[in-house]
Amino acid sequence: MTATPQEIIRSSQWHHLSVEEVTRHLDTNLETGLTSAVAAKKRERFGANELKSKPGKSPLLRFLLQFNQPLLYILLIAGAIKAILGQWVNAGVIWGVTLINAIIGFVQESKAESAICLWQQASLIAALASSVQTNATIIRNGQKVQVPSTELVPGDVVILASGDKVPADLRLVQARNLQVNESALTGESIAIEKNTQPLNLDVPLAERTNMAYAGSFVTFGTGKGIVVAIGDATETGRISQLMEEGTSLKTPLTRKFDKFSRTLLYIILGIAALMFAVGLGYGYSWTEMFEAAIAFAVSAIPEGLPAVVTVTLAIGVSRMARRHAIVRKLPAVETLGSATVICSDKTGTLTENQMTVQAIYAGGQRYTVTGVGYAPQGQILLDKKPVNWNHSSALEECLKAGLLCNDSHLEKTVTFPKFSQAHPGNFHL
């Protein structure tokens, strides 16, 4: 029995299938690609090729979560009992204490979040989403066209060239000296040489040489691939989903605080119950003893303790933010104080993926090259002076060899004049 494309997508079996099987499952053609009508239907079915993040907690929900503390439960219950007995002044005082505590905690957590909002705007999920957005060259209606990566659908035939960013997960069907840098996904800094041969089903992701994954870069050669997964169904999308499935943070401080709160709560309730029973034994009315027990419980509960802990953690987060350290959860700052060793591997370096020639050794001479990135600016210097090409035949031959051995090209774009708001009389390109 033949598996459906949905079953294959879920089980990630594309690297195990031959090119013919992939084209048959996705109902596409390697020469003409998809038609516009078929692509429109698939876009309605699969959605846009972009990573979707869950909306954050609303301010109302974050405010209500301030009451989710064992020490405050009894205050809320005591206030409700006072209201039932008709003692609205006492009920208002008790509820006012819990409300003030919640407001303090909410304000302090909001300040902590605003202290690192500039860093959270460049959060990992947003970075992952931007890493897969690009323009893609595809075959649509038998024509080679360039479209935004968000418009890709499973079955589209994508053409890859050196310098391109892979717009979606692709099953390669053609590879000519194709090498892809997948360091963002696998952590391996060396570009992987690709081919089109089917692989065993149990081959790990880093060794699937017939696949190209969204967000990776083509460093050399050309190729062609069929889109097999888009958006959250890609391997990069799976990473963003795993990040959003994070469980609630439990640190030594929060565990000790919860344990202390429950122990104190049990002690207070026990003493209040004992006081109520002893008072009844001495002949007091149950109403008088109940009010006394409630008053004792309310006075014994350290309602300011949660606020003090929250304020202390918020101050720590703000100080870390001023030192350019991201702390997304308040309790996490406490664990930093008990850390003694921080380990990181060799893949912990962030780069812009823009390799630039800095020096050339040719004809027994060492030349210095200025300029960075892809900007067509810079000079070739010898002893800090511009090169005299009449006496640099070896350098000229070296540059010719480098030119002929790569397929890169430079595209220049024209920017229209833009008037400056600060100086209306000036404009710049």
Q: Is 173 helix (H, G, I), strand (E, B) or coil?
A: strand
The per-residue pLDDT for 53 is 64
CA distance 313 to 231: 37
The per-residue pLDDT for 197 is 92
CB 293 within 8 A of CB 272: yes
Reported as half-sphere exposure (CB side, CA atoms, 13 A), residue 207 has a value of 7
- The residue among 169, 153, 159 whose CA lies nearest residue 49 is 153
Beta bridge partners of 136: 147
CA distance 178 to 189: 16
Beta bridge partners of 382: 385
Check if 345 is active-site: yes
- The residue among 37, 14, 33 whose CA lies nearest residue 25 is 14
The per-residue pLDDT for 378 is 87
SS3 content of the chain, % helix, strand, coil (to 5): 45, 15, 40
The per-residue pLDDT for 160 is 93
Q: Of the listed 156, 169, 345, 407, which one is catalytic?
A: 345
Going by their DSSP bridges, the two strands 211-212 and 217-229 should be labelled as: unpaired
Task: Indicate if 59-120+248-337 has the same CATH topology as 5-51+132-241.
Answer: no
Burial class (CB in 10 A: 0-12, 13-18, 19+), 368: middle
User: Is-above-0.85 flag for pTM?
Assistant: no
Residuewise pLDDT in 10s, the chain (429 residues)? 444 444 444 446 888 888 998 898 888 999 999 999 999 999 898 888 887 766 666 778 778 877 777 667 777 777 787 777 777 887 787 788 778 777 876 776 666 555 444 344 444 455 555 555 678 899 999 899 999 888 899 999 999 998 888 989 999 999 999 999 988 787 777 888 999 999 988 888 888 999 999 888 899 999 999 999 988 888 888 877 776 665 566 777 777 877 887 888 888 888 988 988 988 888 888 888 887 887 787 777 776 666 677 677 777 777 777 777 766 666 777 777 667 777 766 554 555 666 788 899 988 889 999 987 777 788 899 888 888 888 888 999 999 888 888 777 777 666 555 444 444 444 343
CB 296 within 8 A of CB 272: yes
Domains of the chain, by residue range, sit at 5-51+132-241, 59-120+248-337, 359-370+378-404
Question: Spelled out in words, what is the top-level CATH class assigned to the domain 59-120+248-337?
Answer: mainly alpha
Q: Which CATH architecture has domain 5-51+132-241?
A: Distorted Sandwich (2.70)
Supply 181's token pair: 């840098």
